[in-house]
Amino acid sequence: MPKVGMEPIRRRSLVEAAISAIHDRGSLDITIRDIALRAGVSQGLAHHYFGSKDALIVSAMRHLLTEYGLQVRRELKKADSARARISAIIHASLGPEQFRPETVSVWLVFYVHAQESKDAHALLSIYARRLSSNLVYSLRPLVGPRARTVAEGIASLIDGLYIRKALGSLERDVVAERLVEDYVERQLGDAFGKTE
């Protein structure tokens, strides 16, 4: 008879095992059996909790997105102005917490997986909408009707620089956060009619 309260612990263990397996393989070339062995549970139990490998992979990404969301909220609590909120979002997105090797592996694999999995694509869309809405909310008092366009530029820089940094193709002396902050400053300068 299963112990009461074990399901959340086993689910979390399976999600962490999936993240570890993706990191070790560098791809989704893993099985539910591989993940269950890492988690120390039966393959049947893994199927019982998640139903399929895709559902487990999506749960692993949801776990990372939840951690990211918590980091964004922690950073936003420190912000005392609209401009500081933008910097908080940039820091949460490109700060060291997002570059743990396992996190990077899952994000890179997930971007590819979202092209073929409807559930993964939906989750990636939620991430993109939340990032955009957080940015637009903070940008509106600073750039008015240009908020959506500027937010799209910031989000694109965040995602692109994340991938480049994760792959090691960003020059060593280039700080991703600083590049995004420079873009923001340029956009704010344009909003107030400043030119360089």
Taking a C-beta distance cutoff of 8 angstroms, is the pair 144, 79 a contact?
A: no
Position 4 in a domain: no
Residue 15 included in any domain:
no
Q: Is 20 contained in some domain?
A: no
33, part of any domain: no
Counting residues of the chain whose pLDDT is more than 70, the rounded percentage is: 93
CATH number of the domain encompassing residue 101:
1.10.357.10
Model confidence at 1, in pLDDT bands (50, 70, 90)?
very low
pLDDT tens, residue by residue, 46-85: 989 998 888 998 999 999 999 999 999 999 999 999 999 9
Does 1 map to a domain? Answer: no
pTM for this structure? 0.85
CA torsion sign for 25, 28, 29, 33 is positive
* Residue 186 clears pLDDT 50, i.e. is over it: yes
Query: Is 2 inside a domain boundary?
Result: no
Which domain does 78 fall in, by range?
58-191
Band of residue 7 on the pLDDT scale cut at 50, 70, 90: confident
Domain count, the chain: 1
pLDDT given for residue 165 in this prediction: 86
Report the C-alpha gap between 114 and 109 in whole angstroms: 9
Q: How far apart are CA 186 and CA 196, in angstroms?
A: 9
